[in-house]
Chains A and B, each alone.
Chain A
Amino acid sequence: MHAGLILAALALGLALASSLVSLPAGRRPWLLRGVALPLFGLAGAAATAAGITALLGGDAATAVLPLGLPWLPWHLRLDALSGFFLTLIGVVTVAVGLYAPSYVRGFENGRDSLPALGGFSGLFLTGMLLVVLADDAFLFMVAWELMSLASYFLVAFHHDNAASRRAAFLYLLMAHIGGLCILLGFGVLASFGGGFDFEAMRAAPLSFGWASVAFVLAFTGFGMKAGLVPLHAWLPEAHPAAPSHISAMMSGVMLKVAVYGFIRVVFDLIGELHWQWGVAVIAIGSVSALLGVLYALMQNDLKRLLAYSSVENVGIVFLGLGLALLFQGSGHPLLATLAFVAALYHAINHALFKSLLFFGAGAILHGTHERDLDQMGGLLRVMPWTGVSFLVGCLSIAALPPFNGFASEWMTFQAALQAWHLESGVLRSLIPISAAMLALTGALGAACFVKVYGVAFLGQARSRHIRGAHRPPVGMRVGQGVLVLLCLAFGLLPTTVVGVIEAVPRQLFGQVLPQATAHGWMWLTPIAPQTASYAAPLIAFVLVLLLGLAFWLSRLGLLRRVRRCDPWDCGNAPPTPRMQYTSTAFAQPMRRVFGLLFRIEEGVETQKDGSLRYRLNVSDRAWEIFYVPIARAVELAAARIVRLQSGNVRIYLGWTLVTLLVLLWIIS
């Protein structure tokens, strides 16, 4: 048997073991933190090893398990595509395995159920691993539902909180609608391919119309899970409700599993791509990116903000995938490869820095029990380790060179800029507009994370419990440290990363980027050296060298010592923490400029004691435009249908008889 598959099976076994071990954790809490979560981390390590084996190994390995339906045993398959996503899942899981044991200590004295946390975490991981490994639609759907259900219970973990329950219900509802779309999509493919295993589906001869039906169903289903606008509304409710390390798994990893599903169904199973799909994906992707970051900018709750920023990043990933569809559909496999690699690169980058940021949010929550940015301030001084690692996360997610977010966004830009190869002039002018939206997204993302870092970690503490924050324990710091190192490595060595990722397009398109390292490992030249080049190691080297020089000079005493003094106070009283710009204040200019896109309720009220109170509520337009009308329609339909419910059993039986007759008639 293939070494990669053995490692993947080991990962599955460890994940299940971690789930089982934590069942008695209610009585013995140390079981969760001492055994179950280390096993969880080991499962991640095994998955990473399996994934890297598959990425470097080349050909795909398959296996058939004696489980499942009698005529349809479970098929497993490990190829470069699933290898890439196994690596992505594994790496974050390892970091969670290091971080979580110290984090869950906080739950040991509460009323929260530890067996549920550990058990469902293990099942959640098992589900995600199986989705990536599945090679038939039946196992895929079982694994998909396992992942959705396990994460539902994790979202509902703090179930004594009404908001958590509501978020979990919404999540469950959306996950099921999405699951239904995916199932129907598989149905279309299976009926043409004559079988539920992926091998048969790949061979299915599809007309453009039916292929488009399958594409739309897959795009809707996976897009709902990935949080694309306008199907994103559940995401900012559900992700923050879970414990922080689970939020990291959901935002960092589960969204990528949805991306995996989309790639598997569209690029692999449907196979023959059409450029029209690319246009649709590009449009939805860029709108998601822009709206995601704008809504993130308006949030004051740190975890909600991070969840909205996931919508943004998934939008960027889909923008890259859309470009790949478009280029492949119009016969430019090299450019499709570039866009595809950019999308995958951004997917793994987002997994790294979003988990890092959620770890930071978890550390703040752990140390201060606070999620509201407007209460924070000056945390860099009380928790320096978290402060520095959070800064790395912010720099990465804000797409600043030489960090990792920039490398993948740069490649996406390069792919968009190759639009001049296209035949159609209309597309030639539309693609750069989406690239400009990406630029706006990037710049707003930078603004958003300046706000987060400046308000939470810099300045002065805005409340007493922030000033008295306690530092996170060693385990949490190690978990953050691993991700910091990975973010740096992925940012500084883009040529290596691209070289490894290339195995995936080689499998799907039979194409790599031959010129990517034409000038050596230091220069990333995705198309050709004279077209574009980026030397991340050199930039980092000069930055570090000159910064080190300045630091060394001041250590030697060659620079005059700085003297401490009070900040400038305009000659009035010294500034108090309440005079600082808050998160709301920081976002005010953007709120005003982009006011059309939000639902803003703003007002000044006079209190009973005569004092004034400013009230501001910024909410998502998606609710009033999409969800409320749908909910109304459902309620209306329900009100009509309720007439059937007369209470008489015989009438119900009559309906059953009629239904049965109609069904029999249809079948005959």
Chain B
Amino acid sequence: MNATAWLLAIAQALLYVALAPLLVGWVRKVKARLQNRRGPPLLQAYRDLYKLFGKETRVAHTASPLFRAAPYVVFIATWLAAMAIPLLAVDLPTAAIADIIVVVGLLALARFFLALAGMDVGTAFGGMGASREMLIAALAEPAMLMAVFTLAMTAHSTNLSSVVDAHLAAGLVLRPSYLFALGALLLVALAETGRIPVDNPATHLELTMVHEAMILEYSGRHLALMEWAAQIKLLLYGVLIVNVFLPWGIARELLPADLGLGFAAVVVKLLLLGAVLAVGETVLAKMRLFRVPAFLNLALLLALLGLLGHVILEVGA
């Protein structure tokens, strides 16, 4: 039992790495369709990664060893964070390595190195991207944790497995707090994964970019790792949102049929979420940097209302 659970956990971790480019490809495809374009093929993200891994890696003269280590640290830390989030089944052993606060911490570790790498070469863009990224992260983190606290106070646990389990056990309950927490997490996810309206993943217009500014100096396999880590992060937030708020379908027993159902369910949920993201990116415009705090304040307000709603309306006196 224990060995199978570990094997499954490793398989799930590998699935995160394997599926991440697909979600990005899907979002791009839907977005292109909405804009009356045909768009790149669904598997284009895989081809890009393959091509980048084959290319020569160039590093600036001014770069320190940290610059070369950073892509690996960023990739591994993001991947570790993803491992703790239930994708197919609850109660896998990797879920106990890290609870949701550790997941936030691991993402912060990845961001720390990303920002340092941006500042390493000594160009203006890198510093600009690092400064802005840290600001956005600083404002997003309280909202994120507040939303998570609401979940945790309902489930009396910060382990995501237990949260999902508790949610499944309670059946269908209309909780005002979950509604607000969902809203807050959606906004935070947009900010943290660098999507419109906070950042534009497709732009290389120097003054508006955040994430792209930090990885401007990367090429070859370093760039591939950075891009891949960003894709895993998007998948991570997607799975976090769909599996915590709509956990139905996820396997509670480690049986092949349940796991198959869990896989099908999560894929369908992610496809829907990806489509929603694509619609959102199509109808919204990117904000100025100093509008972002207002955006994230809204996320914090939603999370706060979720918490207050939980205390006032759900528990009673």
Contacts and interface: CB of A to CB of B under 8 A. Distances in A.
Q: A contacts B directly in the complex (CB < 8 Å)?
A: yes
A585 B132 CA distance: 11
Contacts of A610: none
15 contacts: A401-B106, A413-B101, A428-B315, A429-B311, A440-B139, A443-B134, A533-B159, A547-B69, A562-B68, A562-B220, A564-B59, A564-B60, A567-B61, A568-B60, A589-B290
A568 B76 contact: no
A585 B128 CA distance: 8
B130 A454 contact: yes
B268 interface: no
B46 to A, nearest CB: 20
A114 B290 CA distance: 52
Interface in A547-603: 547, 550, 559-560, 562-570, 575, 577, 579-581, 585-590, 592-593
B158 to A, nearest CB: 5
A567 B77 CA distance: 27
B226 to A, nearest CB: 14
A444 B130 contact: no
A531 B130 contact: no
Contact of A579 (B119, B124, B132, B162): B124
A406 B123 CA distance: 31
Nearest to B116: A454
B19 interface: no
Nearest to A542: B80
B309 to A, nearest CB: 10
B266 interface: no
Interface string B122-146: 1111111011101101111111111
B299 to A, nearest CB: 12
B298 interface: no
Given A443-B140, A542-B80, 8 more contacts: A399-B108, A401-B105, A458-B116, A458-B119, A562-B68, A562-B220, A570-B206, A593-B139
Counting chain A CB atoms within 10 Å of each CB, which of B80, B102, B108, B290 scores highest? B102
- Nearest first, the 9 closest Cβ-Cβ pairs linking A and B are A581-B127, A454-B119, A447-B134, A459-B122, A443-B138, A567-B60, A443-B141, A439-B145, A460-B122
Contacts of B47: none
Interface string A160-188: 00000000000000000000000000000
Contact of B66 (A380, A433, A455, A562): A380
Interface stretch (B33-41, B91-99, B232-240, B246-254): B91-99
B122 A377 contact: yes
Given A454-B119, A567-B60, A417 B153 contact: yes
Contacts of B303: 436
Contacts of A447: 134-135, 137-138
Contacts of B73: 543, 547
Contacts of A587: 131
B203 interface: no
The size bracket of the interface on A is 35 or more
B269 interface: no
Counting chain B CB atoms within 10 Å of each CB, which of A377, A391, A436, A580 scores highest? A436
Contacts of B217: 567-568
A443 B159 CA distance: 21
Contacts of A517: none
The size bracket of the interface on B is 35 or more
B122 A563 contact: no
Nearest to B157: A531
A266 interface: no
Contact of B131 (A417, A460, A562, A588): A588
B101 A381 contact: no
B64 A380 contact: yes
Interface string B205-238: 0100000000011001100000000000000000
Interface in B40-92: 56-64, 66, 68-69, 72-73, 76-77, 80
A661 B200 CA distance: 81
Interface string A393-437: 001001111000010001001100101100001001100110111
A318 interface: no
Nearest to A576: B122
A381 B308 CA distance: 51
Contact of A458 (B66, B111, B221, B293): B66
Given A443-B108, A532-B157, A562-B68, A432 B130 contact: no
Contact of A586 (B104, B127, B140): B127
B21 to A, nearest CB: 19
Nearest to B68: A562
Given A437-B142, A559-B221, A529 B137 contact: no
A203 to B, nearest CB: 39
A119 to B, nearest CB: 42
B307 A432 contact: yes
B122 A567 contact: yes
Contact of A567 (B62, B108, B143): B62
A269 interface: no
Contacts of A315: none
B138 A531 contact: no
A15 interface: no
Nearest to A554: B68
A267 interface: no
Given A429-B308, A450-B130, A535-B96, A400 B102 contact: no
Contacts of A460: 62, 122
B22 to A, nearest CB: 23
Contact of A542 (B76, B220, B308): B76
Nearest to A432: B149
A401 B145 CA distance: 16
A450 B134 contact: yes
B156 interface: yes
B97 A581 contact: no
Counting chain A CB atoms within 10 Å of each CB, which of B101, B134, B220 scores highest? B134
B56 A563 contact: yes
Given A400-B112, A443-B138, A459 B149 contact: no
A405 to B, nearest CB: 10
Nearest to A410: B101
Contacts of B118: 454
Contacts of B68: 562
A534 interface: yes
A531 B60 contact: no
Contacts of B56: 560, 562-563
A450 B80 CA distance: 22
A454 B105 contact: no
A67 interface: no
Contacts of B199: none
Contacts of A577: 122
A433 B311 CA distance: 13
Given A547-B72, A575-B122, A538 B137 contact: no
A546 interface: yes
Contacts of B119: 450, 454-455, 458-459, 580-581
Contacts of B139: 440, 443, 593
A563 B145 contact: no
Contacts of A538: 97
A530 interface: yes
Contacts of B304: 433, 436
Contacts of A566: 60-61
B61 to A, nearest CB: 5
A429 B69 CA distance: 42
Contact of B132 (A446, A534, A570, A589): A589
A278 B127 CA distance: 41
Contact of A432 (B106, B116, B153, B300): B153
A531 B158 contact: yes
B58 A564 contact: yes
Nearest to B289: A589
